[in-house]
Amino acid sequence: MTRLSVNINKVATLRNARGENVPDVKRFAEYCETCGAEGITVHPRPDERHITRADVAELAPVVKTEFNIEGYPDERFMEIVREARPAQATLVPDAPGQLTSSAGWDVIANMDFLSGIVNRLKEWGVRVSIFVAAEPEQIEAAARAGADRVELYTKPYADGYGEDPAKAVAPFVAAARTAAKCGLGLNAGHDLNLRNLAFFADSIPNLDEVSIGHAIISDALYLGIDATIKAYLDCLKKH
């Protein structure tokens, strides 16, 4: 079954609003795992508006499932990954002040840069995923760059799901097949939620992992995190 990695950035956002340690990010991550989450994702941005470098240091030894650190691979990010040694690093092309990820990498144009980053991460024993659009040529380039996986940017699917689910998912099915041909593992994330996740998971072959944060934390306000994680895990079962 596809693994569910819970992105806990929004929990840190809530904590930072008061400048104290409520809610406790580390405790929340541990509780998510107790509830069935199969991974924890964080995105330590340079401005530390949610997850901080100190959070990563605290989380690294306590996450028992799979720790995924995502971000733009500048030297600060690389130092954080080197210190934490997560199971996976997901490379995203976000600018420093960007609100949220809004596009995948142009891997072809950034081949030399990304290849060098991938090599460094692999030397540290970290699996590397590159965030890309559902474009076969970018997926093929990610394989040439040495990535282990790609993470598909799924906002276009989420935007089109309400009008025509089959049409919206078709490019992602093709992308998944390209990834498999290239020997790449496959992750996905961005705007996946309880409304559109089950159809996506049923449609996409060889989907290793989805990373979901905003929707899970929002749903947990109504349902509680235990029931929310269970609901998302049910979406990932083949129906």
**Residues assigned a catalytic role:** 43, 70, 190
Sequential DSSP letters for 159-219: HHHTT-HHHHHHHHHHHHHHHHHTT-EEEEESS--TTTHHHHHHHSTT--EEEE-HHHHHH
Distance, CA of 87 to CA of 66 (rounded, Å): 6
Distance, CA of 207 to CA of 97 (rounded, Å): 30
Question: Residues near 64 by Cβ (< 8 Å), separated by ≥ 6?
Answer: 33
Q: Of all helices (H) and strands (E), which one includes residue 155? A: helix 155-161
Token code pair at residue 16 = 């930072």
| C-alpha distance across the termini of the chain, in Å | 11
Q: Whose structure tokens read 């030894």?
A: 61
